[in-house]
A and B are shown apart, each in its own frame.
Chain A
Amino acid sequence: MGRNWGNTFIVAGLFALLLGAVIISFGLGRYPIPLREVLGIALSKIYPLGQFWTDRTETVLLQIRFPRIILACLVGACLSATGAAYQGVFQNPMAAPDILGASAGAAFGAALAILNHGRSFTITVSAFFFSLLTVSLVYFFSRRIKGKSILGLILSGIVVGSLFSAATSLVKLVADPTDQLPAIIYWLMGSLAGVGNSDIRFAIIPMILGLAPLLLLRWRMNVLTMGDDESRAMGINVHRIRFLVIICSTLATAAGVAVSGMVGWVGLVIPHVARKIVGNNYLHLLPASILCGAIFLLLVDNVSRNLLAVEIPLGILTAFIGAPFFIYLITRRGEYS
């Protein structure tokens, strides 16, 4: 079982890499903070320590950088975990978290909240609930489509998703072009600028409620990639497992998209990166996807807030990095590809 031990080691390595990236990210920004002070402030939370940093440093670190860094990691983790899970239960390497309309619904929810002069937190909550609503509709309609259940889900995902996209366009059309329209467009490009600790408090519960069962179900995901008939013959209640995975993935995706806006490519590309590193077995693939997703979005967000004087929206960066990288990945081959 050399490969298994090797993979466990790789997952541990990824975790260490993530920790390192998080610590370094705290120091980065328009207001640089030395590593010594970052560690000092972190330690002072668990151990009484003489303050050798300014109050302003502590505020920047805890009120601005902390929520942003944590959310970048969480959103990246959620999107890539659900991408990997969907690829398994839909038996399709091209599946991504928004396949059942979660993003389209969130976009509509956010646009609607902006149109109604919602504050930042209202926008997040509205995006979250419309995301859940969209996927519920998709699931409801798919149950009424005869034939293969996967095809039914994907078809009704496309239909309901494009309905909500049209609705979002309608909201854009009637929105005030001086302030509301730019706000909607900016939200759609995806960004973690301006997230606060309240966003963490809101998103963390659905994220954990989503990710934890996905991690527990990861052996079943392996079996489901074999197809419905084969998995059933191996004793798996295919519909129940797929339903559970969809619920959990939707919770995690909705919470992620609600705080970050549209961030594409992460959920498609990162699982494939993880597949290249640890293979297709979900026992290692899912933890590796979560960690790679967290690292990736954290790095991209660092670029987003540090590269230029203005913030570069996350969705633009993930597409610019993700798409070419995906081409590179799928043109390479390995024993388990």
Chain B
Amino acid sequence: MSIEVSSLSFDYGRNRVLKQVSFTAQDHELLSVLGPNGVGKTTLFRCILGLLRGYRGQILVDGIDISGLGAAGMAKLIAYVPQFHYPSFNYSVFDMVLMGTSVQVSAFSSPGRKQKKLVEEALERLGIAHLKDRGFTRISSGEQQLVLLARALVQESKILVMDEPTSNLDYGNQVRVLTEVKSLVGEGYTIIQSTHNPDLAFMFSDKVLALKDGAVLGFGPPDQVFTEELIYDLYGMKVKLESLYHDQVRVCVPKNIADKAVSPGFVSNL
């Protein structure tokens, strides 16, 4: 499924948070949204998810304008993987994931055998089936992120919106979660994620959207968008962009460190 955002603007009171944001994402694509904190990424996601109304511009999913859709209609198109936070009440991993199927059952009933089977499959698929009876708050943060991902999968919508899925994970778990995300993209999902890590965004993304002060600074394939100027504009940090493995990987190194690194014994000079 495709998502097409055109000239999206949003104001909180007098404060314009999003300015004429346009981009598209197709199936088999992972789009990473980059930008400093407070730049409007969360607002953008809340608009896409139908949680914020009153925006200007248009959001089309497979050509359908989402502004007319209710919660259930939206949930069938787009699933949300929230940033990790402690839930008010602890649930077992199985129950937690089962909640993702709620849109498939009426308000006055609860998920049945078909939904439970979906949960088993999603847990299996992400390699966390052994955790199903554990309490959600008692597993590692990498596992928690996979549980939230599983919950989005059982919702059976083909677009996933992920709010900083790797932000509180250690390096190993970041790569592990992104590898799962990448393999979902391979299966045809359209995935939009926000991230703070330019290196990993370059490595895994098919497209990058760079946002600064609510406006688009760059949009396109990572090898075209990722430049030293862009990183400077985004984060106010001069970097040297090093290309590795025939430009399969690009690594940002802060300029002051990169310059000194050419001379021996640079660490002691820092």
Contact = CB atoms under 8 A, between A and B. Distances in A.
A325 interface: no
Interface residues of B, number: 39
- Interface centre among A88, A92, A232, A275, by most chain B C-beta atoms within 10 angstroms, is A232
Given A230-B80, A279-B92, A281-B95, A336 B135 contact: yes
A226 B51 contact: no
B110 A235 contact: no
A335 interface: yes
How big is chain A's contact interface, by range? Answer: 35 or more
Contacts of B135: 335-336
Contacts of A30: none
Given A219-B102, A222-B95, A281-B91, A234 B134 contact: no
Interface in B101-125: 102-103, 105, 107-111, 116
Contacts of A235: 71-72, 74-76, 102-103, 155
A305 interface: no
B171 interface: no
Given A219-B110, A235-B76, A336-B135, A225 B102 contact: no
Given A217-B107, A283-B110, A225 B88 contact: yes
Contact of A233 (B80, B90, B134, B138): B80
Given A226-B99, A235-B155, A220 B107 contact: yes
A237 B103 CA distance: 10
B87 A225 contact: yes
Interface string B147-166: 00001000100000000000
B75 A234 contact: yes
B82 A232 contact: no
A217 B95 contact: no
Contact of A234 (B70, B87, B89, B99): B99
A120 interface: no
Given A216-B108, A233-B51, A235-B155, A225 B89 contact: yes
B91 A280 contact: yes
The 3 nearest A-B residue pairs measured at CB: A235-B103, A235-B75, A233-B80
13 contacts: A3-B92, A92-B88, A93-B89, A217-B107, A218-B110, A232-B50, A233-B51, A234-B102, A234-B103, A235-B74, A237-B72, A335-B90, A336-B91
Interface of B: 46, 49-51, 70-72, 74-76, 78-80, 82, 85, 87-92, 95, 99-100, 102-103, 105, 107-111, 116, 133-135, 138, 151, 155
